[in-house]
Amino acid sequence: MYKHLNETRWFGLIGIVSAIVTLTSCGTPATDSQDLVLKLMQQRECSGCDLGAVNLPDTNLAGVNLSGANLAGANLAGANLSNAKLDDADLSGADLTGADVSGVDLSKANTEGAKLP
């Protein structure tokens, strides 16, 4: 029984250390991404921003300017993107399932492999 408890503690410790290493090693990009998302939400503009793999499901992004932005692999499922500017944006592999893209011209965006509404 004691051996099982020690093994459980050991695996728990390994998990915690792995999480700390992961967070530490990617701290700068995550912070940069968070800063860009904050800019987007406050100024409603982030043209040319690198928001690859950002997680913004069910977010109100109506009318935002994301022209030329990298949104490759982004989770935008259920987001309100109505009247957003996405000219030359990279949406490759992005999830736009259930997103409102009314008034958006996606013909000028890279949607290769994207899940479109």
Q: Where are the domains of the chain?
A: 2-108
Which pTM does this prediction carry? 0.73
How far is the first Cα of the chain from the last one, in angstroms, to the nearest whole number?
53
Q: Structure tokens of 22?
A: 């992961």
Cα dihedral sign, 105-107-109-111: positive
**Residue 22: per-residue pLDDT:** 35
Helices (H), the chain: 2-25, 27-43
Closest CA to 51 of 39, 63, 43: 39
**Residue 65: per-residue pLDDT:** 98
23, burial (CB in 10 Å: exposed 0-12, middle 13-18, buried 19+): exposed
2-108 has which fold? Pectate Lyase C-like (2.160.20)
Q: Structure tokens of 102?
A: 């009314």
pLDDT (tens, 9 = 90+) of the chain, 117 residues, equals 545 444 444 444 344 433 333 333 343 445 688 899 999 999 999 999 999 999 999 999 999 999 999 999 999 999 999 999 999 999 999 999 999 999 999 999 999 999 999
